[in-house]
Amino acid sequence: MEPSFAAPAPAPAYRPSRRTRFDRYSRLVGLAKVVLPGTGLAILAVALLWQDIVPQSLTKRIAPAIGLEALRQHEMSAPKFVGSDDKNRPYQVEAKSARLANAKSDIVILEQPKASVTLDSGNWVAVTARDGEFNQKTRMISLVGDVYVFHDANYTFRTERATVDTEKKRAWGDKPVVATGPKGTIEAKGFRIEDKGATIVFTGKTKVVLHLDDQDMKDMTGEGKGAKTEKAPAAVKPAE
């Protein structure tokens, strides 16, 4: 009699534990801090320029001459604003054109918006896009097409769409993103900027290429000098 063999029971589907998922989340956050230090803060700093400067400048420069109602149908060609913010940091904001969407709209439409600001560190950062919209009521900024962030310490951040909530100081995007720096490159399906710019989370399938030394590894894993260990907050979900 030939021996009979029962087919092995299928292995249960692998479900990573909450601790495992949080470890992955923490590693991605750690990678972002090493590859792109301070980039989240820089992106938000530039976004805040648009919310503070562009709508006010449209009103102050055009409304006295043509009236408020006419302003809602008017377009400012090649606007350019140069100055210093409330922290005395030099900035420059410009666009090919800027206009209000329609007579009843709170949306400022920007064509080829560009903005740059000098940070507290002395570095400067610039953001450009093909198109932009600023909602004066919700304080939300949407950038679409060739969204490009450049930090003069040789960090870059590219994607096709980014939304910034200037009230809550957070940003996100659901289009592929490529971030590069002297320490490596991160490619992902999307991103989130949280904690008022202190944290960048890359979402979806993520590819990382690193060029790290021993100190970088310690900084990434929280073992460096002065590093703090944080417990996983209950609401945290890993990037998927």
Residue 107 in this model has a pLDDT that exceeds 60: yes
- Residue type for position 3: P
221 confidence band (pLDDT: 50, 70, 90):
low
Q: Is the pTM of this model over 0.85?
A: no
> How far apart are the C-alpha atoms of 47 and 126, rounded to whole Å?
10
Q: Which residue has the higher pLDDT, 149 or 3?
A: 149
* pLDDT value of residue 173: 93
Determine the average pLDDT of the residues in 141-148: 94
DSSP string, 149-175: EEETTTEEEEEEEEEEETTTTEEEE-S
* List of domains in the chain: 22-217 (2.60.450.10)
Whose tokens are 């209000």? That residue is: 100
CA atoms of 141 and 104, how far apart (whole Å): 18
pLDDT at 160 over 80: yes
For residue 228, the one-letter residue type is: K
Could you give the 3-state DSSP secondary structure of residue 146?
A: strand
Q: Are 81 and 92 in contact (CB under 8 A)?
A: yes
For the stretch 4-60, pLDDT in tens is 434 444 444 444 444 444 344 444 445 555 455 666 666 766 666 666 655 555 545
Q: What is the mean pLDDT of the chain?
A: 71
For residue 119, what are its two tokens? 């940070």
Dihedral (CA of 94, 115, 187, 14) sign: negative
CB-based contact 28:36 (threshold 8 Å) = no
Residue 92 has pLDDT above 70, yes or no: yes
| Residue 65 banded pLDDT, cuts 50, 70, 90 | very low
Q: With cut-offs at 50, 70 and 90, classify the pLDDT of residue 174.
A: very high
Instruction: Compute φ and ψ for 195, nearest 5 degrees.
Output: 55, 45
Task: Over range 230-239, report the average pLDDT.
Answer: 35
